Each structure stands twice: as C-alpha cells, then as structure tokens.
Structure 1
Amino acid sequence: MTSLSAKRILVLVGAGASVDFGIPQTSGFTDKLEEHMLADGYSVRSGGWDAYKCVKSELENYYGSESEAHFERIYHTLHELAAMKVSAGAVPKYKPVLLPFMQPNHGLKFDALRAAASSMLEAIYSIASASSAAPKQSVAPLSEFVRKLESIATTRIYTTNYDDFFSQASPHLFTGFTKKRGEFSLFSPEDYWSCWGQSGLFHLHGSVHLGFPLWLSGDPSIDIGELGWFESRDEAIKHSSFSGSGSPRLDGTELERSAIVTGLDKLGRLQQSPYLYYYSGLARDVVEADLIIVLGSGLGDYHLNSYLREARRSAEPTPLIYVGYWKEEGDELFEALNSVQTDHSEAVIHQLRVGQNSDIKFDAYRGWTTNSVAKIAIYTNGFYSFLKDPDSLDCVLQDIGA
C-alpha cells in the first residue's frame, strides 16, 4: 500500500467482465471459432481443419469431457506439436531438446498443425474484434464506473481481455503507446514509467488494436515482431497475423508470434514489449495499491494469482473487491466457500483470503458478501449488475476500510 498522499486503485479485469457486452461464453465461442476455421480456405486445404478436429477429439477422449477440451488446450496442443520439427542442417539451438525422447503417434503433418494453430489465432482475434464493434450493452455505466474510481484515486486497469470495451468507455486512459507513426503508435518504455501517476489501461494478453506494423511502414527502426497500436480495429485486424519466423525458446522450439496471447504457455509470450513492462508495472501497482478490484476473473491465471496472494497475505492486507457471478447469490457462494471445492472456489479462499466464516456477512447488501476483518467484499450478481448499482459500492468501501 502506498505511503504517498495520492491514492491508487488497481483493477484486474477477466473474461467475465466482457460477457454482458457480447463476448461469447465457452460453447458459443467454440462454435464461432469453428465457423471461422471452416471458412479459412488455406487451413482447410492444408489439412489444418482436420488437424484441429483430430486434436479436439483426442483431448475430449483423454479428459472424458467436451468442456475440458477447450480452445486454449487445443491451441496449445497444436502449437507444441507443430514446434517439434527439425529442419535439415539445423544447429543445436534450433533442435527441440525433447524430440529424441518422443515418438509422434498422431500422423498429422507439421504444415497442417501450424495452419490449424494460425487459423485459431485469426479466429479468436476476429471474434473479439467483431464483438467489440457491436456491444450488446451500453458502455455508459462502465464509463461512469471508471470516472468514479478516477475521482477517488489514480486508477490502473490491467485486463486479460482482447476486446476494447474499456477503451470505448474511457478512451483517455494511458496505454504507453505514445510514439505516433501515422496509422499506428509504438510503445514507449520511457513514457510508461514517467507517466506512473496517470490512470491507465494495459492489455496483459493482447488487444484487438494490436498488430504488426513493420511491413506497413518499412521503418528500419521497428523490430521484427514489434507490436503497434492501431486506433482503428479494422486496420489492426489487417496486421494481426505475422508470417515471418517465430520467437526462439531455450528448448529449441519456437513460439508463433501473435497479436494476442492465448494457449497454456502464456509466460513465454510475455517476455516481449509491451508485456514485459506491463508485468513489471503490475508488480509495483500491487505493492502501492490502496484498493484492489477484481472484475469477472475466473482466477485461472496462476501468474496473476501470485500477485493477488502477495497483496492479501500481509498482516494488513490490501482491501479487495471481487466481482463475479453465482446463480443463487449468497447461497451458492456459501456452498462454494464451505463445501464445493472447485478450482475457482479454492482460489477465492486461498488466493484472495476471504477469512474466517464467522467474520463473513453473506448478503450484507443486495448481491454483496463482506468481511470487514479480512477487508474483502464479493459481489455475486455479475459485472453489469454491479455497474448498475454504484450506490452499494460506497457502503462496501466503508465496510472493508478502503
């Protein structure tokens, strides 16, 4: 928590905060993704669609569940299998270290695997971009929410979502992309740190405004694989794919360069700009925050959970508000915290540290469960309902000492 006079609020945004605005949930997202892949002529001709179906089927059989064979696991499998390729005459740096100990039994061609992985990236980007272009709910309540936070403190918003609903609601927020180059802007590490006192919006896993501008500009100062921020989504999507070499990994494989970060090996993709600076800034924001607000996160990103755990494990934990969705409001939350041990409920209990049951007030306000001792409050009715009930937030902030 900062000792400075200027207060700071850290906001972490997850997928659940975009559902009401139109980003499809898991089953609907998969349907749209597969529609896009079927319409990708190159992927179909090169066997990419067949590779996708094969991997999806194998994962469903392996996990015994369709829901567990979700798109991030499918993409990860396709990408990692495609990475197990050795070119003739390759030096040790480009030979996968595990390959001598692995015997492929899938019969899928490397070109098909890579085409399927690339087609998935294009589909995910396209779905997020199209959904952003036509929000199903007004962003006005979101704009008011951000404005309210900024009236209280410097507000730093970190989102794992690709969409731009927060940008639409608050287009003034600082991103770090300040080097204007015509249709796009480049990230400035110097400005990112020098503008520490500004409210900002930082996309931790990519955005529908990011693309690869090198081939567009011909500017030799732009590195291969460097990302640029395009004000226009329509322009950004034209540059969202990268056709050059991947980013080398120490195990001899390559990471496919992409404008969005997905799959199970996110950390490998976060070592480039701007993500490297965003995560450094996030660590500092966690330490200096006077209040942390988590919106719509399923708490499935272990690297982000680590930040939250550190903020909450001290003798004086940083006050925290968690906005999620439970069908039966307080009753279902009570079950989740006391008997139904899902990954999500375990994360809420152990990472967010909700405190002792005797200190928890279920239904303290409509939709709210609070613990003034542990300095935490949980909203159970979903993100958009939370936005439409700003008055309760004032009471909750007082209860948890924020």
Structure 2
Amino acid sequence: MRVTALLGAGASVDIGGPLSVDLTRSVRSKLQEIYDLKTGHVTKVPFLNDIAAELDNYFSPTISHFEDIFYTLESLSSYARGWQSKTVKKFKPHMGSFVDAKKQYFFDEFLLYIAKKDLLTVVGDSIDEYDSLFDPVLKHSWYSSFWSDAVSQCQWDIATLNYDHCIESSINQYEDGYEDIGQICKRFNPRKLLDNNTDSKILHLHGSILYGHYSTSDNRYMFEDQHEDLYLYPSYKDAKDTWFNRSFSVAQSHDETYVGPIVTGLRKTDKLLPYPYNTYYHQFQKSLIENDRLLIIGYSFGDYHLNSLLERVVRYHGQNRKIVIISYFPDPKSWIPDPYVMNWPGNEMLNFIAKAFKDPTPFYNTLQFQEMFESEDKRTRIYLGGVNHTFNKYGREIIDFLTK
C-alpha cells in the first residue's frame, strides 16, 4: 500500500513560508537597475511595479500576483523580439501580427530580462530564507514528526508544489531520482525513480531552489540531456549561480517560455517537458491511479493541469477511496452553509470537494462551523484548522485513516 500526497503553498505557511501576497509585495518593491556602460551611472526604475500596476488596472477590482507578472514579462519579451524584422518565424508569436505596443517602455528587451531575473531571485531568496531556518528537531518538530510517522507506516508518493526542501529534511530515506555523478551536482535518472517501489518518493512538480543547470563548459552529456534539464545542487547559492545568462526556451506557440528551477507564470504545461518534471508528472499520475489513498494539504486548486488529474480519483477508486484535505478557514464565526454566499471555497476547490464527497452540496446541512467534515460514506474528510493545528490535534488520526 502507498499513499499519495499533494502539498500546495498553504502547506508551508505554518513553517514560515510566504503567502502569494507576500511574494508579490516583495517582487513589486524590487527596483530594476540599468547600467550606463559609458558613464557607469546606475538608474533604478520600478519596472516590475509598473507592470503590476498596469495589470491591476486591467484586472480591477482584482489585483495581480507574481505569477501574473512573470507571465506578462514572458509575453512582452515574445512580442518585443517578434516585432523585429530579422526575427525568424519560430520566435514570432502569432498574435503579434494583430496587436501594437501601447507603451514602448514595456517592450524594452534589456529591462524585461532584468525584471525576469529580479523576480526569480526575489522568489528564490524568499524561499531560501525560511528553508534555511527550518528546524525539524525543535521548532518545527510538529511538522517533521507527522511526516516521519506517516512514512513509517507505509510508503508515500509526496508531490509538492513548493520550492523548499523541508519535506526532505523531515524524512530519513526517500527517492527523488537524482544520483551522484562525481561532481558538485547530481543528475536525474528517471529509471532510478520509476523502478524504486520500496521507498517513499518526493516529487517537486514545480521546481526547487536547489535545482540548477549543468555547466556549459562541460559537454559530457551534450548528446543525452536537453538544454533545460535540471540538476540537483547541495545549496541554494550553488544552484542560483547557474540560473541565468542562458537563452530562454520557446513554446510551439512561438511564445517565450522560461523553463528553469522555478516553474512559475501561466504557461506551466509548456515548462514540464525536461527532467525531472516530465517524469515527476508521470509518477504523480501513476500514483493517483494506483494508490486509493490521497492527502491534499494547502492546495487552492489553482493549477488546472493538476485539477484534471485529481478529479479522476473518484473514478479510479470509487468506494475504495480514502481522501483527506487539509485547508484553512480563517473566520469560523462567519460560517454560512452556502459556499457561494460565503465566497469560500473557490469554484475549482468546491468542484473537487463535491466529487470527493460524492455530494453536490457537501456543506449545505451544516449550520455551524466544524473543524472536520466527513462525507456521508465516510471515505473523505476535510480539516479546516490549518496545517499546524491539524497536524498537532489530528495528525495520528489522519495517518491511521489513510494507512489502515
């Protein structure tokens, strides 16, 4: 027996991980530096914030987040390059023939490059800040103890959308598909991951701050690896040194698609072709088909490509399914048994809960807030007290439910 787990951004909040709004605020406050090679003068401009302000005005009353900003930077770069007369068709996005620049300022290729680099650096630095402070023995023992207890009962396939390595710090033995090659970095071997049926597996579906590119000065794998394949480094500093000064990838749509250690933006499905992402997604889908036990923590159901896989679980396993969702409801006093009136959860999350509960109106009969809801057939549960509280109060109960 194996259990599948999916960790979203909310799974890291109680161990110090930043919220999307926090990352967006940090990204917007980062100024872009322009160097004048002739004079040596440095000019600082709020280019990222200017991009976000344009998006906010367009999305009003909703505001943009950092993934919106990165997607926009990629799109602007695509048009800036595509509009040049000497650019070949491969790099010309189709819609470029129908639109014009509203403001030339936003199509400066150098500024766009600096902005993309700054955004990824801000995100990476923010993740490294709390990742390096993770204390599995004392401060965060509630987190590490849950995972060490869980994997002691059976093997798990743990897929995470977070860029940190707190899961690895909590589990003594696991398989991630990386192997030593006698250098500072490790190389991904898909067979090492897929052929291992005895260990728990950790799958970074959207990247890691410890992922980086291979040295371009060493071409020993030039006939085997793709340009975008990612290697595992021992530290964030070592990995980040390889992130930039590389050409960006282009999707079949001719749009720029940054494929790297951090999978962000709105073109995620175009970014999941190199190692280890393609194999991780294969393993994740395989685990959903084969494992009838599923734990979802802190995932807001904002990635449609993942939702399409998760929503098949009930079809795969029917009455054999056991599903646990750990989420957070911020104000129990405001509970209303109609999600559309309460504006919680979002449509995508509610759609999954309805399927998992096999009930189109899973909350309608509950007039008062409860920390735990259970489906009528007792095969699905949702806990709404947040990760820390739920692990401390219900951790053993959840592990027993999923592993027995």
Q: Which interval holds the TM-score relative to the shorter structure?
A: 0.7 to 0.9
Tell me the secondary structure at the aligned position of residue 15 of structure 2. Answer: coil
| Aligned twin of 1:183 | 184
Partner Cα distance (1:332, 1:294) in 2: 24
Of stretches 189-198 and 357-366 in structure 1, the one that deviates more from structure 2 is 357-366
**CA 1:336–1:366: 2 relative to 1, 3 Å:** closer
Q: Distance in 2 between matches of 1:355 and 1:333?
A: 22
Q: Give 5+ residue unaligned stretches, structure 2.
A: none
CA shift at 1:155, angstroms? 0.3
In 2, the alpha carbon distance for the partners of 1:189 and 1:78 equals 32
> Are 1:64 and 2:60 an aligned pair?
yes
Q: What is the aligned partner in structure 1 of residue 305 from structure 2?
A: 303
1:11-66 CA-to-partner distances (Å, cap 9, x unmatched) read 0000001111112223332333345x33x63589898844322211111111224x
How far apart, in 1, do the equivalents of 2:14 and 2:230 lie?
A: 29
Tell me the residue number matched to 2:11. Answer: 17
Instruction: Indicate yes or no: 2:23 matched with 1:29.
Output: yes
Tell me if structure 2 keeps the 8 A contact 1:360–1:371. no
Determine if contact 1:51/1:116 at 8 Å carries over to the other structure: yes
> Of residues 80, 100, 118 in structure 1, which corresponds to 2:97?
100
C-alpha deviation, 1:218, in angstroms: 5.4
Task: Find out whether 1:115 has 2:114 as its counterpart.
Answer: yes
1:106-156 deviation per Cα after TM superposition (whole angstroms, max 9, x unaligned):
212222123212211121111111221113883322222122222332201
Q: Is the alpha carbon distance of 1:292 and 1:46 closer, same or farther for their aligned partners in structure 2, counting shifts above 3 Å?
A: farther
Alignment of 1:271-282 (within 5 A): 271-282=273-284
The answer to whether the 8 A contact 1:361-1:369 is kept is no
Q: 2:78 touches 2:91 (CA, 8 Å); kept in 1?
A: no
SS of the residue 1:251 aligns to? coil
Residue in 2 that maps onto 1:3: none
- Of 321, 330, 347, the residue aligned with 1:327 is 330
Amino acid paired to 2:49:
K
1:295-325 C-alpha deviation (Å, 9 max, x unpaired): 0111111111111110024643621100010
Amino acid at match of 1:186: R
What is the alpha-carbon distance in structure 2 between the residues aligned to residue 238 and residue 149 of structure 1? 35
Does the alignment pair 1:138 with 2:132?
no
Normalising to structure 2: TM-score of the pair? Answer: 0.86
Aligned to 1:126: 125
Say which of 242, 263, 266 aligns to 1:264.
Answer: 266
* Residues 1:234 and 2:237 aligned together: yes
CA distance in 2, matches of 1:126, 1:367: 34
Give me the whole-angstrom Cα distance separating, in 2, the residues matched to 1:31 and 1:302. 25
1:232 to partner: Cα distance: 2.0
* Conserved? CA contact 1:362–1:368, under 8 Å: no
* Deviates further, 84-93 or 264-273: 84-93
Does the 8 Å contact 2:174/2:202 carry over to 1? Answer: yes
- In structure 1, runs of 5+ residues without a counterpart are 1-6
Question: Does the alignment pair 1:77 with 2:78?
Answer: no
- TM superposition shift of 1:360: 8.5
Aligned residue-pair number: 388
Work out the CA distance in 2 between the residues paired with 1:43 and 1:166: 41
State the alpha-carbon separation in 1 of the partners of residues 203 and 237 from structure 2. 20
Give the Cα–Cα distance (whole angstroms) in 2 for the partners of residues 382 and 358 of structure 1.
19
Q: Determine if the alignment matches structure 1 residue 199 to structure 2 residue 200.
A: yes
Q: Cα gap change, 1:216/1:172 in structure 2, threshold over 3 Å: closer, same or farther?
A: farther
What is the Cα deviation at residue 258 of structure 1?
A: 2.3
Does structure 1 residue 318 correspond to structure 2 residue 347?
no
* Letter matched to residue 121 of structure 1: L
2:169 alignment partner in structure 1: 168
Partner of 2:249: 247
CA offset at residue 193 of structure 1?
Answer: 1.2
Q: Contact 1:49–1:116 (CA<8 Å) still a contact in 2?
A: no
CA, structure 1 residues 197+303, in 2 after alignment: closer, same or farther (shift >3 Å)? farther
Give the distance between the partners of 2:269 and 2:362, measured in 1 at CA: 38
Amino acid in structure 1 at the alignment position of 2:113:
R
Contact 1:208 1:236 in 2 (8 A): yes
**1:346 matches 2:352:** no
Contact conserved, 2:337 with 2:366, CA < 8 A, in 1? no
CA offset at residue 340 of structure 1? 2.6
Change (3 A) 1:147 1:328: same
Query: Is the 2:337–2:365 contact (alpha carbons within 8 Å) kept by the matching residues of 1?
Result: no
Secondary structure of the residue aligned to 1:388 is helix
RMSD of aligned residue pairs (Cα, Å)? 3.1
Among all aligned residue pairs of Structure 1 and Structure 2, give the percentage whose two residues are the same amino acid: 22
- 1:51 has 2:54 as partner: no
Matched, 1:41 2:36: no
One-letter code aligned to 1:139: H
Q: Equivalents in 2 of 1:248, 1:145: separation in Å? A: 41
Q: How many angstroms apart in 2 are the aligned matches of 1:358 and 1:208?
A: 38
Q: Indicate the SS of the match to 2:93.
A: coil
Query: Alpha-carbon deviation of 1:102?
Result: 1.3
